[in-house]
A and B are shown apart, each in its own frame.
Chain A
Amino acid sequence: MRIPYRPLAIGLVTLAFSALILARAQAGDRHFFAPVTDPVVKEECGSCHLAFAPSMLPARSWQRMMGKLDNHFGDNASLDPATAEKITSYLVANAGDAGGQRYSSKLLKGVATGAAPQRITELPKWVSEHRKVPDWEWRHKEVRTKANCVACHTAAEQGYYEE
């Protein structure tokens, strides 16, 4: 009996290869920040603005933010304690410095250890990525604020931040 193992081997190699590429496209793309999947977080942190990807800030940032929701950038975003606790756990577990989040930590480059920045838009890396964006573009009526990522990154809801 002759087994046609050459085509089989080629098939296997191709399969392994495409799996590799797929995995890289999902995890390794530096433009990709896994979007919020938890429905409660999506609802409570995604109705005033885009539900920002938890991997964009370190865990201590989220802890600090969640501790003062009654004054959230001038808004009152308070929640009942049980919901707030649930959301905090999710954000912390998926934070930029949580295990395995190698790529998003690039956005955290230059953040002092121990610091708890409250704005993604003030991270040194974010600022440098956006240094070429002209002033008038920020003031455009469809943009209005730097926090309005979706205005420029149309696939931000899906986690993609290429232009």
Chain B
Amino acid sequence: MKNILVVTSGIVAMILSTATLAGPREDLLAQYAAVAKVTSLSAARGQTLHTQNFSGGKPDTPSCTTCHGKDTRGAGRTLTGKTIEPVAVSVTPTRYTDPAKVEKWFKRNCTEVLGRECTPQEKGDWLTFVIGQ
């Protein structure tokens, strides 16, 4: 068991070190894929996560689109009336470049919507979706 762990973390480290050559978004994607032990992330699954209605979280926030809006390229709005810049990278190019910020909001928002944290695969899929938007 310990050996497997060492090997896996070795692979993760290798992936991470090659990925640092790319931008912070690519780094994040590689990291999520590595931890999820998948070779490909899916924008289609990300889209489903984004638009699906969940019942495990808070009743007034059943979906990511509750705050981020149905149109990824349009502005969203929190329940307290604050405007949120579009999630699509094509419209808001500064997005997802600060890993701590990304992690902080995944943690908060997944808990609000799904009633639990998102898995690395879910995070990677969702990011793949909005990066391609």
If over half of B's interface residues share one DSSP class (helix, strand or loop), that class is named, otherwise mixed; here it is loop
If over half of A's interface residues share one DSSP class (helix, strand or loop), that class is named, otherwise mixed; here it is loop
Cβ of A46: which chain B residues have Cβ within 8 Å of it? 82
B81 contacts the other chain (CB 8 A)? yes
Q: Is the CB of B112 within 8 A of A151?
A: no
- Cβ < 8 Å to A, chain B residues 71-90: 78-82, 84
Q: How far, in angstroms, from A32 to B108 measured CA to CA in the complex? A: 33
Q: Is the CB of A147 within 8 A of B111?
A: no
Q: How far, in angstroms, from A74 to B79 measured CA to CA in the complex? A: 13
A144 contacts the other chain (CB 8 A)? yes
Cβ of A50: which chain B residues have Cβ within 8 Å of it? 80-82
Q: How far, in angstroms, from A50 to B79 measured CA to CA in the complex? A: 12
Contact partner of B80 (CB less than 8 A), chosen from A48, A76, A142, is A48
Residue in A closest to B61 when the chains form the complex, CB atoms: A75
Interface size on B (CB < 8 Å)? 11
Instruction: Give the number of residue pairs across the A-B interface with Cβ within 8 Å.
Output: 36
Q: Is the CB of B81 within 8 A of A151?
A: yes
Q: How far, in angstroms, from A143 to B81 measured CA to CA in the complex? A: 7
Contact partner of B112 (CB less than 8 A), chosen from A47, A75, A147, is A75
Q: How far, in angstroms, from A47 to B80 measured CA to CA in the complex? A: 10
> What's the minimum C-beta distance from A71 to chain B, rounded to whole angstroms?
12
Cβ of B108: which chain A residues have Cβ within 8 Å of it? 75-77
> What's the minimum C-beta distance from B103 to chain A, rounded to whole angstroms?
11
13 of the cross-chain contacts (CB-CB < 8 Å) are A47-B82, A47-B84, A48-B80, A49-B80, A50-B81, A74-B58, A75-B108, A76-B107, A143-B81, A144-B79, A147-B80, A147-B81, A148-B81
What residues make up the interface of B, taking CB atoms closer than 8 Å to A? 58, 78-82, 84, 107-108, 111-112
Q: A142-B81, A144-B81 are in contact. List 20 more A-B contacts (CB 8 A).
A: A47-B78, A47-B82, A47-B84, A48-B82, A49-B80, A49-B82, A74-B58, A75-B108, A75-B112, A76-B107, A76-B111, A77-B108, A143-B81, A144-B79, A145-B79, A145-B81, A147-B80, A147-B81, A150-B82, A151-B81
